[in-house]
């Protein structure tokens, strides 16, 4: 066995069993025969006598030449054996490394997905599948480390994750099957033991990671499933554990969830939905619809907010369902870029005073390239930057204040306006309003609903409007659905209104026709 220096050992082939050695044996035997003839007493004396009688043949020189050739051949044979043995060992090492890399992750030294497939196949062949519990582990917040600290820090984090998980489950039971995904095949059906291991893993990964001179937090969502009896049980359990893991992520992350039969349909639906969403993005069938934003003083259309719409199997899918999936699968970048590009092209055909509002997912605000991509899309479509308003939620700010600050500054520098969406429903603070220099605040519909009859709600709305005016911000009220709400908000000095009273999200052609209409006409059409 030889140590490769990569945390593993490999078998080195014995050179003395190779064909090179057998060829060298034949050559050496020939050389020895020559030498034997040269030094064997009787033969040697006979030759000496013969040479003495026949000096004209100069046989002594011939014998010396043969002896020298024999010794030289013997040395050559020995060197050739060593050379061929080294070449053979190098080839064996290369083949061994290739075989090892085929089933192992070179970063963490854990088995990879092919290694997992091989382990499952061996378990099925041995009939030991019924004695296992499967854990599906997905890291929370890992992409943020890659984006902010770089891939080298990300690699450090993954190595440390593997070390911590290996200390709990054992490296032999642990597999890295994706960028930030791990699987554990625990050799026990004891539910208590499985839960204890999973809880220990969540706790271990909740501890801060020291990376590139700073600390970072990751966390993990873990789904657990017992292997059912019968053929294909482990593969079924892997699917079940994945389903439970997705439930854990949707339920708040950094937790463990056991698989339940009801999750099977949810997993199947999610797989089908992801497949269809990828296809929809390839075919560009997720399109922007436009909900009007009305200037409450003039009664004219102030702008439109672009909202994603996807018609699937003859009906529109709720936007939050496929947007959440896009965030989980990383498709949100492609989805956002497509929608912003199409919405910008459409907005360019509107009157110059009509602006485009576009909401950015909190997940995307972790991306250092977000601001530059938005600016690039405006350059490609020709929409002036001052006519675009990017809406961000309070959640986006809290997740990464530093990166959000950089992105907002990049947008402002390009002349793009930035609005704080759903104000008051998350983690807003006065320091954030000052730090980010927003151009607009959007009052969430939860405050607008019933505020004209609820004095407590009315005080909150008045306070927020007063705060906005004091900071010189444009104020927009969401969720306006009644004439009484419109009248009260107008009297309080709200600048812009949005809601079903003015119209639902509509196709591009309808939005274009709406641009020149006044409030009364807009409301009559909406009604």
The whole-angstrom separation of Cα 422 and Cα 188 is 48
The whole-angstrom separation of Cα 245 and Cα 263 is 10
Measured CA to CA in angstroms, residue 231 lies from 120, 121, 192, 238 at distances of 11, 11, 25, 14
Residues 6+ apart with CB under 8 A from 371: 406, 407, 410, 411, 414
Neighbours of 275 (CB within 10 A): 10
Give the model's pLDDT for residue 387. 97
The whole-angstrom separation of Cα 269 and Cα 518 is 44
Give the model's pLDDT for residue 228. 76
- Nearest one of 226, 238, 164, 173 to 201, comparing CA atoms: 164
The whole-angstrom separation of Cα 432 and Cα 440 is 13
Torsional class of 34: left (φ above 0), alpha (ψ -120 to 50), beta (otherwise): alpha
Phi, psi of 438 (to 5 degrees): -65, 155
Neighbours of 132 (CB within 10 A): 22
Query: Does pTM top 0.75 for this prediction?
Result: no
Confidence of residue 4 (pLDDT cuts 50, 70, 90): very low
- Mean pLDDT of the residues in the chain: 82
Residue 59 is encoded by which pair of tokens?
């046989």
The whole-angstrom separation of Cα 353 and Cα 339 is 21
Neighbours of 526 (CB within 10 A): 16
Confidence of residue 135 (pLDDT cuts 50, 70, 90): very high
Per residue in 170-201, pLDDT (tens digit) is 988 899 988 889 999 988 778 899 999 999 99
Measured CA to CA in angstroms, residue 495 lies from 185, 386, 465, 514 at distances of 59, 18, 9, 19
Residue 299 is encoded by which pair of tokens?
């009664």
The per-residue DSSP string of 380-401 comes to: HHT--GGGEEEEEEHHHHHH-H
Per residue in 417-437, pLDDT (tens digit) is 999 987 766 555 566 777 788
- CB 149 within 8 Å of CB 212: yes
Per residue in 121-132, pLDDT (tens digit) is 888 787 766 678
């Amino acid at each position: 066995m030889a140590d490769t220096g990569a945390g593993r050992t490999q078998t080195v082939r014995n050179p003395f069993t190779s064909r090179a050695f057998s060829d060298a044996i034949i050559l050496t035997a020939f050389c020895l025969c020559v030498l034997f003839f040269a030094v064997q007493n009787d033969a040697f004396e006979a030759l000496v006598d013969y040479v003495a009688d026949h000096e004209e043949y100069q046989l002594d020189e011939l014998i010396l030449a043969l002896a020298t050739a024999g010794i030289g051949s013997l040395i050559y044979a020995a060197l050739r054996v060593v050379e061929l043995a080294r070449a053979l060992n190098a080839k064996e090492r290369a083949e061994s490394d290739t075989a090892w890399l085929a089933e192992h992750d070179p970063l963490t030294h854990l088995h990879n997905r092919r290694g997992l497939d091989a382990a499952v196949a061996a378990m099925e062949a041995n009939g030991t599948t019924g004695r296992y519990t499967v854990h599906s582990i997905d890291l929370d917040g890992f992409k943020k480390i890659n984006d902010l600290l770089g891939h080298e820090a990300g690699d450090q984090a993954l190595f440390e994750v593997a070390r911590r998980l290996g200390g709990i489950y054992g490296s032999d039971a642990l597999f890295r099957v994706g960028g930030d995904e791990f699987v554990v095949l625990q050799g026990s059906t004891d539910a208590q033991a499985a839960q204890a291991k999973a809880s220990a893993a969540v706790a271990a990964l909740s501890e801060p990671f020291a990376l590139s001179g700073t600390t970072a937090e990751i966390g993990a969502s873990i789904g657990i499933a017992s292997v059912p009896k019968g053929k294909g049980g482990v593969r079924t359990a892997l699917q079940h554990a994945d389903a439970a893991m997705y439930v854990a992520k949707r339920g708040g992350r950094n937790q463990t969830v056991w698989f339940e039969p009801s999750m099977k349909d949810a997993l199947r639906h999610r797989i089908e939905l992801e497949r269809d969403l990828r296809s929809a993005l390839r075919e560009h069938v997720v399109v922007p619809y436009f909900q009007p934003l009305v200037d409450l003083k003039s009664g004219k259309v102030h702008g439109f907010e672009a909202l994603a719409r996807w018609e699937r199997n003859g009906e529109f899918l709720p936007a939050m369902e496929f947007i959440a999936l896009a965030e989980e699968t990383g498709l949100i970048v492609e989805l956002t870029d497509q929608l912003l590009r199409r919405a910008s092209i459409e907005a360019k055909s509107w009157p110059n005073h009509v602006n485009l509002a576009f909401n950015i997912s909190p997940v995307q605000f972790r991306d250092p390239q977000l601001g530059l991509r938005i600016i690039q899309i405006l350059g490609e479509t020709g929409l002036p930057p001052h006519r675009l308003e990017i809406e961000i939620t309070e959640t986006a700010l809290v997740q990464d204040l530093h990166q959000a600050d950089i992105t907002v500054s990049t947008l402002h520098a390009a002349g793009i306006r930035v609005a704080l969406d759903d104000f008051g429903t998350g983690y807003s603070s006065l320091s954030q309003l000052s730090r980010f220099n927003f151009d607009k605040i959007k009052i969430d519909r939860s405050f607008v609903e019933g505020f004209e009859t609820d004095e407590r709600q009315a005080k909150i709305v008045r306070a927020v409007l007063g705060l906005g005016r004091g900071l010189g911000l444009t104020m927009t009220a969401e969720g306006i659905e009644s004439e009484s709400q419109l009248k009260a908000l107008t009297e309080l000095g709200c600048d812009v209104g949005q809601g079903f009273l003015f119209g639902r999200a509509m196709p591009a052609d309808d939005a274009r026709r709406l641009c020149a209409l006044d409030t009364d006409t807009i409301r009559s059409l909406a009604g």
